[in-house]
């Protein structure tokens, strides 16, 4: 516990980046963490198995619609945190992972396309929730949207982002208070197949580490609050 899946039917919305940053940050703090790489691109699986990152995070790839549920169940009994990185499509594999997760993280960039596709993920979550509630009226599938590739702390916020913030606020969809900024280090992590602390010459590394910890801290707080509730 918990199983956290990252979902947004739009490709390139930052699912793999968010997953990797959060998982490695929690592992660096001593948590036992695994990532189920259910994205056919297998970017995280490649990062772990074709590189030598200094991390305890274990990565399992190659899952399909038929085995995603059993893999989630198996890993949830072994690790404190199970992240599921999903493909950028509206597929059965994605919906099954959502149905069997404790928390859904929906990364979005400040673009109307990302937000529209995020709405699709939210519809799927609500439908799955209704199914769960047939056996347990109290059951929910909590979720939050997370802004990724946004401006760094202190940088000016674009007008389009402000408009989207207002639109999202109107819908009442829950958002992370923190966001993952557009940072060179987050890209270099994948290129060099290393963890953030191992990187050199990757822009403002201190800023990236602080940002990663902020978002991971909020994630932990959200899940702890959900469990307490």
Partner 1 sequence: MGFGLDESDDKKPVVTSEALSKFKPRQAPKPVANVIESDVAAAQAGFISREPKPKKAVRPTKPKQEVEQSFQLCMRLPSSTLDQFVAFATKHKLSYPKAMQKLLDGFRG
CA distance 3 to 117: 22
What is the torsional sign of CA 102, 43, 20, 181? negative
Task: Name the minimum Å distance from CB 34 to partner 1.
Answer: 10
Burial 155-171 (b: 16+ CB within 10 A, else e): eeeeeebeebeeebeee
120 vs 193, which CB is nearer to partner 1?
120
CA distance 70 to 178: 32
Task: Name the minimum Å distance from CB 25 to partner 1.
Answer: 7
Classify strands 143-150 and 180-181 as parallel, antiparallel or unpaired: parallel
Tokens of 23: 């998982």
Task: Name the minimum Å distance from CB 201 to partner 1.
Answer: 26
DSSP secondary structure letter of residue 190? H
The SS3 of residue 69 is helix
165 vs 198, which CB is nearer to partner 1?
165
The SS3 of residue 104 is strand
DSSP string, 127-145: HHHHHHHHH-TT----EEE
DSSP secondary structure letter of residue 90? -
51 vs 197, which CB is nearer to partner 1?
197
202 vs 216, which CB is nearer to partner 1?
216
Task: Name the minimum Å distance from CB 198 to partner 1.
Answer: 18
Nearest-CA neighbor of 52 among 197, 194, 199, 200?
A: 194
50 vs 135, which CB is nearer to partner 1?
135
Task: Name the minimum Å distance from CB 157 to partner 1.
Answer: 4
54 vs 191, which CB is nearer to partner 1?
54
Task: Name the minimum Å distance from CB 204 to partner 1.
Answer: 15
156 vs 200, which CB is nearer to partner 1?
156
Task: Name the minimum Å distance from CB 191 to partner 1.
Answer: 25
């Amino acid at each position: 516990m918990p199983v956290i899946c990252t979902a947004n039917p739009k490709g390139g919305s930052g699912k793999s980046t968010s997953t990797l940053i959060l998982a490695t940050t929690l592992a660096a703090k001593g948590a036992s963490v695994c990532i189920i790489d259910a994205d056919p691109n297998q970017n995280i699986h490649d990062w772990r198995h074709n590189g030598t990152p200094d991390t305890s995070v274990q990565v399992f790839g190659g899952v399909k619609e038929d085995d995603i549920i059993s893999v989630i169940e198996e890993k949830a009994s072994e690790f404190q945190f199970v992240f599921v990185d999903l493909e950028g499509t509206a597929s059965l594999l994605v919906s099954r992972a959502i149905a069997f997760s404790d928390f859904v993280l929906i990364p979005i960039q400040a673009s109307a396309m990302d937000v529209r596709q995020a709405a699709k993920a939210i519809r799927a979550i609500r439908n799955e929730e209704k199914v769960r509630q047939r056996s347990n009226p109290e059951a929910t599938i909590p979720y939050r949207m997370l802004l990724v590739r946004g401006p760094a702390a202190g940088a000016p916020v674009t007008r389009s982002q402000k408009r989207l913030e207002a639109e999202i606020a109107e819908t009442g969809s829950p958002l992370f208070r923190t966001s993952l900024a557009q940072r060179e280090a987050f890209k270099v992590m994948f290129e060099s197949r290393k963890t953030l602390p191992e990187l050199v010459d990757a822009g403002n590394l201190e800023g990236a580490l602080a940002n990663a910890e902020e978002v991971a801290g909020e994630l932990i707080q959200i899940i702890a609050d959900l469990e307490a509730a």
